[in-house]
Structure 1
């Protein structure tokens, strides 16, 4: 469904993506892992068209994504890291934001309530405002919005960030269930290894802007790559010795 070929992106002197090649099969759930600043979010932003890569191409169903951008935009859903709900709109209008452009208000609300139920939120939540929801409820409302239009591909940006382990497990279970039920293709970026194990069909590890390793969860657990093993175990790696610290601002700040 989606292919990335030789994707590169720099911000000033910093190369964030350095020739990334990646394929995503129809109906597959891919989880991209890696440390902060390794290019995960920039990869996602390039696919979504929020950043323009310096080199390489992105193919959507075997043709350049730029040629099929309108079709792609109609078929994708997105769960943002902090839900990104519109504070001034009630929850049901947040969920139905895209639908309200396509159908009568009453029908859009019905679908919104249905999708809220799918993520475990009752109809009484529909008329509340985001500020009245807990963090876990906002995340679930964001997930309901992501699936409101029955997308064929869904992006999940750090879906469990800021949640306690129980609520994080609930979100992981919801995501896996939705992917299985709908047959949607999914890309998730995360640092949370619990999410990886719950969501992934395949895992890709980014390191310094390059794809260092990819495989199934079972293959991940037996891989001999030292960096991958340390990442899975959460082990600190030795700091490289070198000249005095460079305290210049990071040009990728806010992108990863």
Structure 2
């Protein structure tokens, strides 16, 4: 569904991506790991069109993901941001239904928001709370509800368990895995959490020095020499 070929990106004299080749099939869950500052978020931003690569190409369903096709692609994706990134001035249900409210009555959008909040384990009374009233785990769940509100075909997860205790982190992992499986969505997750990789990934790719140096099934990662340092951390 998504292909990346020879992608390069520098900021001034500093190269970040040095020729990334990667792909993810429809319905597959790919986890991208790597040390801080290796370009994982830049890679994600290039896919979304928020950064323009210096060279290389991003494809969607086998065709270049150019400016003409980007609106269609963006209409079918969802994203869980690292810090949930909820709008402080909006109650939770309006955060979840942010995209929906542009094309349907508020009552219908609220009903869908309540349905998605229930899907991620948040009770109905959460809908009218403000983001500042949520715990870290609740905010992550609300962010996840927003990511799936429009039943996207592609979902990006940027460090979905950062800042959570191990119990809450594994709960979020289980939710992500179930949602991706139930919706048949294609998923790309950026994470440092190897427990998350084991729970939610079909494949794992290691980004190092601006290139993908390992790409293989999660089921085989324990024997991959390139991943030894991450598995021992």
Give the TM-score of the pair, scaled to structure 2.
Answer: 0.98
Partner of 2:3: 3
Post-superposition CA distance 1:99-119 (Å, at most 9, x none): 001111100000000000000
Partner of 1:154: 155
**Pairwise CA distance, 1:23:** 0.9
Provide the C-alpha distance between the structure 1 equivalents of 2:153 and 2:119, rounded to a whole number of angstroms.
17
**Pairwise CA distance, 1:224:** 2.5
Partner of 1:175: 176
Provide the C-alpha distance between the structure 2 equivalents of 1:231 and 1:197, rounded to a whole number of angstroms.
12
Q: RMSD of the TM alignment (CA)?
A: 0.6
Partner of 2:30: 30
Unaligned ranges ≥5, structure 1: 235-256
Dislocated runs of 4+, deviation >3 Å:
none
SS of the residue corresponding to residue 15 of structure 1 reads: strand
- Tell whether 2:211 aligns with 1:218: no
Partner of 1:104: 105
Residue-pair matches, total? 232
Partner of 2:146: 145
Provide the C-alpha distance between the structure 1 equivalents of 2:221 and 2:168, rounded to a whole number of angstroms.
25
Partner of 1:131: 132
Partner of 1:62: 62
Provide the C-alpha distance between the structure 2 equivalents of 1:87 and 1:223, rounded to a whole number of angstroms.
43
**Pairwise CA distance, 1:12:** 1.3
Unaligned ranges ≥5, structure 2: none
Provide the C-alpha distance between the structure 1 equivalents of 2:103 and 2:178, rounded to a whole number of angstroms.
26
Partner of 1:75: 76
Identify which range, 85-94 or 61-70, moves more after superposition.
61-70
SS of the residue corresponding to residue 49 of structure 1 reads: coil
Partner of 1:232: 231
Give the TM-score of the pair, scaled to structure 1.
Answer: 0.90
Whose radius of gyration is greater, 1 or 2?
1
Identify which range, 62-71 or 130-139, moves more after superposition.
62-71
Provide the C-alpha distance between the structure 1 equivalents of 2:193 and 2:26, rounded to a whole number of angstroms.
24
